[in-house]
Structure 1
Amino acid sequence: MSSTVLENDRLRVAVTPDCGARVTSLVDKRTGREWIAQGPQSRNTGEDAEYAGNEAVGWDECFPTVTPWDASHTPWARKLRDHGDLWGRPFTIDTQTPMALRLSYSDPQFLFTRELQLDGAALIARYEVENRTDASLPYLWALHGLLAVTAADSIELPEVETVAATYLSLGDKFLSVSELQWPKPSDVLPFTLDRVQPATSAFAGKFYAAVPGRTARVGRPGQWLTLAWDAPIDQLGIWLTYGGWPGLGGHHEIALEPTNAAADTLGEAIDAGAPPLAPGERRDWRVTLTLTS
């Protein structure tokens, strides 16, 4: 699959329009660090495809669900596939310059658009979604960017004291815990959640947090990646996998996922009161990823 590259004197970003507009590379040219988790491009993108193994690489957009959900009784009138409609599907390039790229995915029910623009050490992602139906259209969106990390890195969530846990596994055991302190130690895990663990930890976990300042960062002194997001986005998903997913010896990466609801399925987002799109409505938001030292 061919890539489109955006580049300035600080950043180099690669995108594959034909594969869900996936961001496959985000390189800090000052340090040489690659921030995007690497892997082969799977062509398994059908309606029954699972987002696992070779499918789970790079930065994709989840919409209108994250995990599969039967939305037959909603205006979607169908079952929604794992991680939504967008990943792996061909996007259209609307506009392109050396430092900006606007792509869209057109469906009879919706139009989804994302523009990436370089601004110094920042990558700005601007989103717009349009409801093309004559009914209120519920949706769940999450920026699913898998980041390459090492055990020298840490995760900072300013002003966050607790996180809700929706999935926890350690070794060959699943843990049933609904909430954990951040970043304080607990009697559930042998490490604190703010410290990236080695791949030998055999751990995987999914969490949600409301971050008051709408910022989070990962890295270490001299190499930080900061995410900032605008209202109305007010939740952050946190995906940690240190050799524990999709099975033992699996991926080693994290994701900091701004999202419109602390939910894994569209059904949970509806129950949480996530505002739907009114007929014909367009909604926009922005996420900025900045390299800082």
Structure 2
Amino acid sequence: MGTGIYRPQRNYGCRIHDQVTTFGMRTVVLENDKVRVSILPDKGTEIFEYLYKSADLDFMWLSAQGVQNPGAYLPTSPDSVSSFIDYYPGGWQEVFPNGGPPSLYMGAQFGQHGEVAHMPWDYEIVEDTPERIGVRFRVRPKKVPFELRKTIRLELGSPALFIEEELENLAGLPLQFMWGHHIALGQPFVEPGCRIRLPEGAAIVTEEMDSQVPPGRVKRGKRYEWPLAEDLNGQRFDLSVLPDRGEPSDIVYLTGFEDKAWYEVENQRLGLGLRVEWDGKQFPHAWYWQEFGDTKAYPWYGRHYNIGLEPFCGYPTSGIEESLRNGSAGTIGPMQTLRFWLRTVPYEAKK
């Protein structure tokens, strides 16, 4: 909940709107002269809008399902995958302490993408001036003894969104986890021909051929130097250029980042790009999910063209059990606190 302290209303500079709801869910809107960012504390601090004002362009992908309130109706098939997917609107979710499908850890059974993405978070406004605003969010998962805190900020004159996070282990023993930012980009920003840039030395990691994940564009069981990979016929192709609609859907994992990790997605036709920077020491990977309209069954039915570029601690998408086996899961000591930062920067590119 908010602080309950009276704040002068303001219609200029940086400002916060938190006396509004979206389909009955508390909504916190951070706004300045460059961008508007809309967040749902009642649904995992989901970011469903990141609007770049000068172009009237929202970077966040909005699925055909749209934003929904999970409490609005009783699911007809309440399982641990559909409880996430049926209410997934695109946008940007915090994923913790499991990434991917249902998985088991220390006797706790996690559903799709863990717990916190659908939990209500508390919040307080920690800074509110025309020059700078900040809101701190806080949650404790039900199944594991953690507290996760994050502060989101905007500054006047900048389209950049700043996120600083703390993960605290409330137990007297070491624990492990998967933790990530599920950032999905789609129309009108993402389209065939868009380009993805990564730092020099980045690599592509794939799952084994016997993975439960259906085959996609990339030949599995191999590691590639970005941006070239092999298709199922052994032909090389460029993963950095988004293909025409109808190409097979896929997911690979990006690694080889330095302490300051980053990627850029650029639409040269629109002359716009989005740069995402983060703490590569804490999150040494990024998941690259590709949905180009080829999935004809549940849940997409051929309707979407979008990508997810998701900074992550741990891979693959098969869940925390596999990340423990491959050594990519995060580790935190007894009563320890880990810190993480992430920054997104919309920019104008040459057409």
Same fold (TM over 0.5): yes
Structure 1 CA distance for aligned equivalents of residues 137 and 79 of structure 2:
22
1:153 to 174, 194, 202: 194
Verify: 1:261 aligned to 2:314, yes or no: yes
**SS of the counterpart of 2:200?**
coil
- Structure number with bigger Rg: 2
| 1:30 alignment partner, SS class | helix
Q: How many residues align?
A: 287
Gaps in structure 1 of 5+ consecutive residues: none
* Structure 1 residue 194 corresponds to structure 2 residue 220: no
Superposition pairs for residues 1-293 of structure 1, below 5 Å? 1-39=25-63, 40-44=66-70, 48-50=80-82, 51-52=84-85, 54-55=87-88, 57-67=90-100, 68-71=102-105, 74=106, 77-95=107-125, 97=127, 99-107=133-141, 109-119=145-155, 120-148=158-186, 149-160=190-201, 162-166=203-207, 167=213, 169-170=215-216, 176-184=220-228, 186-188=230-232, 191-212=237-258, 214-221=261-268, 222-230=271-279, 231-245=281-295, 246=299, 248-264=301-317, 265-271=319-325, 272=327, 274-293=329-348
- The alignment's TM-score, normalised by the length of structure 2, stands at 0.73
Q: What CA deviation, in whole Å up to 9, does each residue of 1:7-26 have, x standing for no partner?
A: 11111100011011100011
Identity among equivalent positions (%) equals 21
CA distance in 2, matches of 1:168, 1:155: 24
Q: CA deviation at 1:273?
A: 5.3
Do the aligned partners of 1:211 and 1:236 also contact (CA within 8 Å) in 2? no
CA positional deviation for 1:216: 0.6
**Alignment deviations for residues 32-84 of structure 1 (CA, whole Å, 9 cap, x no partner):** 2210011323445877243335425210011111122111xx2xx31111101
Q: 1:90 is paired with a residue of what secondary structure?
A: coil
- Offset, 1:106: 2.0
Moved more, 110-119 or 228-237: 228-237
TM-score of the superposed pair, with normalisation by structure 1: 0.87
Q: Deviation at 1:234?
A: 2.1
Task: Quote how far apart the aligned CAs of 1:241 are.
Answer: 1.4
Given residue 93 of structure 1, which amino acid in structure 2 is its aligned partner? Y
Contact 1:110 1:129 (8 Å CA) reproduced:
yes
Larger displacement relative to structure 2 (274-283 or 26-35)? 274-283
Write the letter of the residue equivalent to 1:233: F
RMSD over equivalenced CA pairs, Å: 2.6
- Segments of 5+ residues of structure 2 without an aligned counterpart are 1-24, 72-77, 208-212
Query: What is the deviation of 1:96?
Result: 5.2
